[in-house]
Structure 1
Amino acid sequence: MNVLVVDDEPLLRFHMQKMLNELWEEVDHIVTANSGAEALKLMQKIDIHTIFMDIKMPGMSGLDAAKEIRRLGYKGNLVFVTAYDEHAIEAFEQEAVDYLLKPVGESRLNSCIERLMKQDKTLIKYELDADQINRWLPSDQSSAQYLSWINVSIGDRILVINVDDVFCFISEDKYTTVVTKEGDYLIKKSIKQLISELHPDRFWRIHRAVIVQVAKISQVMKDEQGRYSLSLKEMHKVLPVSRNNTYLFKQM
């Protein structure tokens, strides 16, 4: 899932990019543009889920850029960011999901992200329904589509690891660490790719960078701020649970 931040002020672009990285775990890449014209060029190269668009920019304004983006067929989310509130009506005429006033704080941005996640509710429901249908299939058919083994290169050797032996997967830069009782191993598969290949009843993505095997969870903890974390059996690892994934444990 890609997000585009459009602002002619470098510090504000960086600040928004940093906050989105910290608050929106589902996002894979955050790209930036310093003008409406640059945003239009990027839109033709990258599939963008959500655009955070500054309104007051030299040359093409954010509103003009949004009109052109919509004219070209963009159906994704538009969020306008500005120091002024007089353009709110024009912004929502472009089917804006939200309208943020600068300086944007974490609390306000978080409520915007929650609103954006609700925009995806129909798609998420469809995906869950499709998953449920797969689970109704005979076990020999439904399990065949999921990953059973992980191949790990160690020098000139290839180690084959049964996924039953994996405690968790942790993303680190361009690599993912496969954590087992016997040791940790690096692979080049991303967390996003792995979660689509692992059985959803057995492996849960608890954070943007972490997948755990449910059977390996020892306990789930909740601190005074309402943040969740969990520990794994036979290991001294404590892993964070992102706010958007705490629902996984509320039924336990």
Structure 2
Amino acid sequence: MTRALIADDERLMREQLRARLAEVWPELEIVAEAKNGVEAVALTSAHKPDLVFLDIRMPGMTGVDAARQIAQLPTDDDDDAAGWPGCEVVFITAYDQYAVEAFEQGVVDYVLKPAERDRLAVTVERIKKRMAQRSRDRDDAPPLAAHTPDMQQLLQRLAVQLNPNAPPKLKWIQATVGQQIQMIPVEDVLFFISDEKYTRVQTATLEALIRKPIKELIDELDMDLFWQIHRSTLVNTRAIAGVSRDLRGRQLVSVKGNPEKLEVSRSFTGLFKGM
């Protein structure tokens, strides 16, 4: 049975969507409901649903910010989340021309408030088709929308629209190199790799450390320039030299100006489909 979570700060909207879903997808199980973005992230982490419906505008943490955090939750590429491949995301929105035009590009599905049965049925069929494809061929299935550059770029644009006073994207990285602090131009960074405490900043000429996790960098960097290829790795698209496979079938990204090969996690392998 497919399991879903609904997040909307309006109780009547949650009830209405639940009722409409029962009509067009009676087999769907609603495992939890959230009143805001913070709850949505926490409940997604706890229940590990297949599908999350997120209202774009919620108090505290918007649905856009929640989607970005949900995309960073551990999946079955990680030992602590075995069996959960991540989830589909569907945005709930009142009519908003910019958002609807963006969603119509096919990056992610959306539901207009109030949810209409016929339009919701179209969304449900799209989701079922993608889920069936991933179930049939996990090794060569399309990535979840949340794990694509198009989705990351869309979320970044929507975040700016929702919060026009947000600080501009990073142009410089202040990092520790030996005993010194250096200012590194973002465009010079080949890739970022995080562990639990630090993130390594790699350029063609130096390696540095910063105390900032990947999920924060995604909010602060221009995602037109960087692709996430692993929960712990961002790579400069201009630095990608090619993609190969090792003996275990894992995709490895070669980077210009550096001999290291970066592993692409299973959640992101669809980025390089056909390569």
Q: What's the TM-score, normalizing by structure 1?
A: 0.48
Structure with the greater relative contact order (CA < 8 A, sep ≥ 6): 1 or 2? 2
Q: What's the TM-score, normalizing by structure 2?
A: 0.45
Higher CA-based Rg: 1
